[in-house]
Amino acid sequence: MKPFTYERAESPAAAARAAARPGARFIAGGTNLLDLMKLRIETPRHLIDVNRLGLDRIEPTEDGGLRIGALVRNTDLAADRRVRRDYAVLSRALLAGASGQLRNKATTAGNLLQRTRCPYFYTTTMPCNKREPGSGCSAIDGFSRGLAILGTGAACIATHPSDMAVAMRVLDARVDTVAADGTRRSIPVADLHRLPGDTPHIETVLAPGELILSVTLPPPAGGTHLYRKVRDRASYAFALVSVAAVFGTDGTARFAFGGLAPKPWRAEAADAVAAQGPQAVAETVLAGATTTRHTAFKTDLTRRTLAAVYADAGRG
């Protein structure tokens, strides 16, 4: 690990100003950043500890939604009675992720900002456009079994690892931030993560020093909430395919997907064919999918996972 300096921020505005300098990074739970620093994939020169900023509360909003502080730990969020009652897909997704120890440390904002995952990103002896822009993508012609089939490009086929973010996407959450100059904005979670394009090393729309303050959920939609995650082992593994689904009492449904793309994936057109069954949804979602010889199985796995979700909802 390379040497770095450290400070504890006393306010969100001070944290954002401090992080605007080159080489500075926020740190809270550190469950992703510290691993990357040990491997020298991330080499920040200065860390700003944001744990004392009071952003660890879950509060109702005036319109009946829920505001989740950026520093709320994943364990606490999954256990909150309001989340379990009104946003069960979020609680289910959180409990499907990582391990109990990691959920005790990981924060809401940190979970959203995990780096997209690929074995070659973590293998510093191999080319990776995400780690070294312009060096090439080893995964495209290499071992790619866990990687993306939607939203990819010639520069990168990595997947976003977060289960929580998939649930946030199906719920149409918004991400509230403050910039180094004090400007605040509310970003739809749909727009937070970028597709790789020609710049896969730029993963979000956040500006340097922009700090996530909270995530806001809209008023509860009711219905049946489900999260199904298919992975290589029963726990502590990233999704090969995951489906977050909200089935409305009026026969409608909403879907978001993990394990398939560089960002939490949602195809609104799939909602329109929900009444036609899981295969219609799958064909709509998978339109335009690009597979390698290692990822071709994900198309069938997506179909089977959707069928299982429909069965769990009593709509099979």
Answer yes or no: is pLDDT of 316 > 80.
Answer: no
Q: Any bridge partners for residue 134, and if so which?
A: none
What's the pLDDT at 1? Answer: 85
Provide the residue count of the chain.
Answer: 316
Q: Any bridge partners for residue 212, and if so which?
A: 177
Average pLDDT along the chain = 97
115-127: per-residue pLDDT in tens?
Answer: 999 999 999 999 9
> Going by C-beta distance under 8 Å and a sequence separation of 6 or more, which residues neighbour residue 222?
248, 249
What's the pLDDT at 194? Answer: 97
Phi and psi at residue 238, in whole multiples of 5°? Answer: -75, 160
Query: Residues 101-110: what's their mean pLDDT?
Result: 97
What's the pLDDT at 148? Answer: 98
220-272: per-residue pLDDT in tens?
Answer: 999 999 999 999 999 899 999 999 999 999 999 999 999 999 999 999 999 99
Handedness of CA 86, 89, 93, 95 (dihedral sign): positive
What's the pLDDT at 163? Answer: 98
Answer yes or no: is pLDDT of 191 > 80.
Answer: yes
Say what the pTM is: 0.97
Token couple for 224: 């049946």
310 with 224: CB under 8 angstroms? no
285-313: per-residue pLDDT in tens?
Answer: 999 999 999 999 999 999 999 999 999 99
Rg (CA), the chain: 19
Cβ burial, residue 10 (10 Å; 0-12/13-18/19+): exposed
What's the pLDDT at 29? Answer: 97
Token couple for 161: 């690892």
What's the pLDDT at 144? Answer: 98
